[in-house]
Amino acid sequence: MMLNLKIEGLPEEVINELVERGIASNKSEAIRLAILHYNDHYGIKPIKEYLEDELAVRKMQYLDEQIAKGKRKLISAKEALGKYSKLLE
C-alpha cells in the first residue's frame, strides 16, 4: 500500500528522533514500527500468526519459482508413497 501523510508537530519530532537514535533506519520504517506497536498493544493480529502466514506465502512463492525454472519436480501422491502407494486404494 502506498500512502502519503502530512505529519507535523510532536508526531514529526518523534519520527525524526526514532531515526536519529537509530531505532528506525528511515522515516517510513519509523511509521511501520509505530503501526506494529499499536497492533501489539491492541492485539489486532498476533505477530506470530502474521509471521507464520508470511513465511508460508514466501515458501509457496519460492517453490512455484523453482518449479517454473525446472529446478523442482512435482510428483503425485502415488509416486511419493512408492511401494506404499497401495495404501491410497
pLDDT value at residue 51 = 84
Are both 53 and 21 inside the same structural domain?
A: no
pTM of the model: 0.54
* Number of domains the chain contains: 2
pLDDT value at residue 83 = 81
Q: How confident is the model at residue 53 (pLDDT cuts 50, 70, 90)?
A: confident
3 within a domain of the structure (yes/no)? no
Cell of residue 57, nine digits: 506465502
Are both 61 and 75 inside the same structural domain?
A: yes
39 within a domain of the structure (yes/no)? yes
> What is the sign of the dihedral through the CA atoms of 25, 28, 33 and 36?
negative
Q: How confident is the model at residue 82 (pLDDT cuts 50, 70, 90)?
A: confident
